[in-house]
């Protein structure tokens, strides 16, 4: 599986994370630290509204270049270290480990996103052994992201977050005849999905959204407005690769657990 990894810059760590990192003697002030999110939909990056981590996952902070650090699972950084994406082949020891829960509430800025200041928020259904364990949230086109966003807004207290951290008002990116301009919202309603835990229905919604978007979708936002999604995918990816806000990451075969399969 070939993913595009998006570099999402942390602009202000949450107070708890700051305390933790200070205690670990990690100098977050004079380094650049990025959450690395693996996506199959680079053309949707305009619509990012937050970045999800899991409270059940221990992430690592890894040195990726001089003065640059990545936050992702050790498993993902290990793979990167064998793909020429890191300073030293086969070296993947984190400088610090950090649980997802500690990162929640931190401020971030994501490449191409229409919204300039986003937050790190929790998602319980992130799979630890897929991608980087970090998931960028695009509620216009990902049913999982749409329903998780709605749940976070409705139950902010339960999740231990501030309601104003949840961006519920988002731009439309892709138009299809079948599902309109916000396919995730359409499909969540159509399939009567009520919770992020409706795994079977969500897998179905995801597949429908992928198919319709890819074969019949037209961009209605950003530099490639009017372009078919099929083409925009590559154009947006190449732009981010050129700007060094993303890189290509390959997931080795046979170790990926899919929610649907």
Phi-psi domain of 24 (left: phi exceeds 0; alpha: psi -120 through 50; beta: other): alpha
Stretch that binds ligand ZZB, among 7-15, 32-40, 190-198, 242-250 (CB under 6 A): 32-40
Tell me which of 105, 111, 122, 133 binds ligand ZZB, using CB under 6 A: 133
Taking the complex as a whole, the smallest distance from the CB of residue 127 to ligand ZZB amounts, in Å, to: 4
**Cβ proximity to ligand ZZB, 65 vs 220, nearer residue:** 220
Phi-psi domain of 90 (left: phi exceeds 0; alpha: psi -120 through 50; beta: other): left
Check binding of 38 to ligand ZZB (CB under 6 A): yes
To which H or E segment does residue 32 belong? strand 32-39
Check binding of 131 to ligand ZZB (CB under 6 A): yes
Check binding of 114 to ligand ZZB (CB under 6 A): no
* Beta strand residue intervals within the chain, DSSP E: 2-12, 32-39, 50-53, 58-65, 68-72, 96-99, 107-109, 118-122, 135-137, 174-175, 218-219, 246-250
Check binding of 107 to ligand ZZB (CB under 6 A): no
Check binding of 121 to ligand ZZB (CB under 6 A): no
The tokens describing 56, both together, are 């059940």
Q: 227-246: which residues touch ligand ZZB (CB under 6 A)?
A: none
- ∠ CA 118-11-169, nearest 5°, is 10
Check binding of 135 to ligand ZZB (CB under 6 A): yes
Q: Which residues bind ligand ZZB (CB under 6 A)?
A: 38-41, 44, 126-127, 130-131, 133, 135-136, 138, 141-142, 206, 209-210, 258
């Amino acid at each position: 599986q070939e993913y595009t990894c998006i570099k999402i810059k942390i602009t202000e760590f949450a107070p708890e994370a700051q305390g933790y990192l200070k205690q670990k003697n990690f100098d977050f002030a004079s380094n650049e630290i990025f959450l690395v999110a693996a996506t199959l939909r680079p053309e949707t990056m305009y619509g990012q509204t937050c970045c999800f981590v899991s409270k059940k996952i221990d992430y690592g902070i890894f040195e990726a270049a001089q003065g640059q650090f990545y936050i992702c699972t050790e498993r993902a950084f290990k793979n990167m270290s064998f793909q020429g994406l890191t300073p030293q082949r086969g070296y993947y020891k984190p400088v610090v480990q950090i649980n997802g829960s500690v990162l929640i509430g931190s401020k971030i800025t994501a490449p191409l996103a229409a919204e300039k200041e986003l937050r790190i928020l929790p998602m319980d259904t992130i799979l630890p052994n897929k991608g980087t364990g970090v998931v960028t949230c695009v509620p216009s086109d990902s049913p999982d992201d749409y329903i998780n966003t709605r749940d976070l807004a409705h139950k902010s207290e339960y999740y231990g977050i501030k309601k104003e951290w949840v961006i519920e008002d988002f731009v439309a990116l892709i138009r299809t005849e079948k599902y309109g301009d916000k396919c995730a919202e359409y499909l969540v309603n159509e399939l009567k999905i009520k919770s992020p835990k409706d795994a079977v229905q969500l897998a179905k919604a995801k597949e429908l959204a992928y198919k319709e978007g890819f074969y019949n979708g037209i961009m209605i936002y950003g530099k490639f407005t009017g372009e078919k999604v099929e083409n925009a995918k590559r154009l947006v990816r190449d732009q981010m690769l050129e700007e060094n806000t993303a890189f290509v990451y390959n997931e080795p075969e046979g170790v990926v657990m899919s929610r649907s399969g």
